[in-house]
């Protein structure tokens, strides 16, 4: 199919970075590091890597967090911009769409660029789940349950994953475990090939016991994982269930950020854009099966772009749970081991710091595009707690075909 350009200015993803992802535990990489300092490290690295960009040309900073309190509060976009040394004239704001926070930061600022309100923006997300466990401090309205607006299981992400197994019997634990083991193996291979480290921002970390150190590599991967080992793990969300710690993403600390510009601005500044935004969409589903969210959001985004799933050469799908990715693949008729899907592995191995993950997907897709000039289109997609999905369709600026 032929993509029909949407009205407005063309928006490009010029660069993306992330911190190494750490275990959200008292002995994790970032146990004694502030969440906002993780964002600052990413913003500073983007400016360092792109010296052609004058800091005063950054017109907006949008940073997402699912828990906006403590070291993840205080209007993250504005506060981290100031801490990163951007001019006092640079405004910023915070965003919350749970797991799609950073993705929403990207699409919101991109929309502003498309209509001409901005030329340059920084967007990203952070989640320090060691400081802010999922759901901490929340006070859900009791009417959700008393008026049966949602199922009692809707606010427990593990139970929503078990619900997908219930709804689709073909999504067996064996398939989930096999997918999870493959994710670990693909990530280990990508690390060994140097495909991951180039986009990591080393972070200085302090510990009261060990003193100063440097976080320079992801902490959560288990490259020794086998299907046989996964089969022996307990199912914490339900007796005799199918969701385990091995086929789900671990609790994670980390931050991401990216540089977005109008395509004409990138040319003016001499930046080398890596991807062009084609379309995006968000969609809602029943909260108790929130993992299905990326299915309708992807259908909407592809329809807006005038594309079909067969036009997509690379998929970066967030692996909140293996069963969630498998439900997406089954819906679109994509094999579990399709080489287009998460070539570097995914969140099961890397980690999923909630609001930060959307830009992690984009940064990986951008690097994969550079390795595959024969691929024109790619997709980043994820599910969102409380029953949503988000999808962005991207065009490879390194594509070598004819327009």
Helix (H) or strand (E) holding 367: helix 357-371
Alpha-carbon distance of 6 to 4, in angstroms, equals 6
> Minimal CA–CA distance to 159: which of 69, 33, 286?
286
Active site residue 383: yes
Alpha-carbon distance of 278 to 305, in angstroms, equals 6
- The number of residues in the chain equals 403
The SS3 assignment for 274 reads coil
Asked if 358 contacts 100 with a C-beta cutoff of 8 angstroms, the reply is: yes
The catalytically annotated residue of 42, 99, 258, 372 is 99
The catalytically annotated residue of 128, 165, 372, 383 is 383
Active site residue 165: no
The helix-helix angle for 101-114 and 357-371 (nearest 10°) equals 70
Active site residue 258: no
Alpha-carbon distance of 350 to 151, in angstroms, equals 30
> Minimal CA–CA distance to 43: which of 123, 101, 129, 128?
123
Helix (H) or strand (E) holding 375: none
Asked if 317 contacts 353 with a C-beta cutoff of 8 angstroms, the reply is: no
Token pair listed for 402: 């004819």
Alpha-carbon distance of 188 to 53, in angstroms, equals 34
Q: Which residues are catalytic?
A: 99, 352, 383
């Amino acid at each position: 199919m032929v993509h029909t350009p949407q009205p407005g200015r063309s928006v490009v993803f010029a660069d993306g970075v992330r911190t190494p992802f750490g275990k959200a535990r008292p002995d994790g990489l970032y146990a004694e590091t502030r969440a906002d300092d993780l964002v600052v490290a990413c913003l500073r690295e983007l400016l360092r890597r792109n010296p052609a960009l004058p800091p005063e040309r950054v017109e907006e900073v949008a940073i997402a967090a699912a828990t906006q309190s403590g070291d993840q509060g205080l209007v993250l976009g504005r506060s981290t911009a100031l801490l990163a040394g951007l001019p006092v004239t640079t405004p910023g704001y915070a965003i919350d769409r749970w797991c799609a926070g950073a993705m929403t930061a990207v699409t919101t600022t991109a929309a502003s660029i498309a209509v001409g309100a901005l030329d340059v923006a920084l967007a990203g997300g952070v989640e320090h789940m060691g400081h802010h466990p999922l759901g901490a401090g929340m006070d859900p309205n009791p009417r959700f349950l008393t008026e049966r607006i949602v199922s009692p299981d809707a606010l427990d992400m593990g139970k929503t994953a078990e619900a997908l197994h219930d709804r689709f019997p073909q999504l067996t634990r064996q398939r989930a475990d096999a997918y999870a083991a493959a994710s670990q193996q693909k990530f280990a291979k990508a690390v060994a090939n140097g495909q991951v480290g180039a986009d990591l921002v080393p972070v200085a970390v302090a510990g009261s016991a060990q003193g100063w150190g440097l976080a320079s590599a992801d902490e959560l991967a288990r490259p020794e994982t086998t299907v046989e080992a996964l089969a022996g793990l307990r199912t914490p969300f339900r007796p005799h269930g199918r969701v385990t710690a091995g086929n789900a993403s671990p609790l994670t600390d980390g931050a991401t950020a990216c540089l977005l510009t109008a395509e004409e601005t990138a040319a003016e500044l001499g930046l080398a854009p890596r991807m062009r935004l084609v379309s995006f969409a968000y969609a809602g589903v029943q909260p108790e099966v929130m993992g299905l969210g990326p299915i309708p959001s992807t259908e909407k985004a592809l329809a807006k772009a005038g594309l079909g799933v067969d036009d997509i050469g690379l998929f970066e799908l967030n692996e909140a749970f293996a069963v969630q990715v498998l439900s997406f693949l089954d819906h679109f008729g994509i094999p579990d081991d399709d080489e287009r899907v998460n070539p570097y592995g995914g969140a099961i191995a890397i980690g999923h710091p909630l609001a930060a993950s959307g830009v992690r997907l984009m940064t990986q897709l951008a690097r994969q595009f550079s390795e595959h000039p024969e691929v024109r289109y790619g997709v980043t997609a994820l599910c969102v707690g409380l029953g949503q999905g988000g999808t962005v369709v991207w065009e490879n600026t390194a594509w070598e075909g004819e327009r």
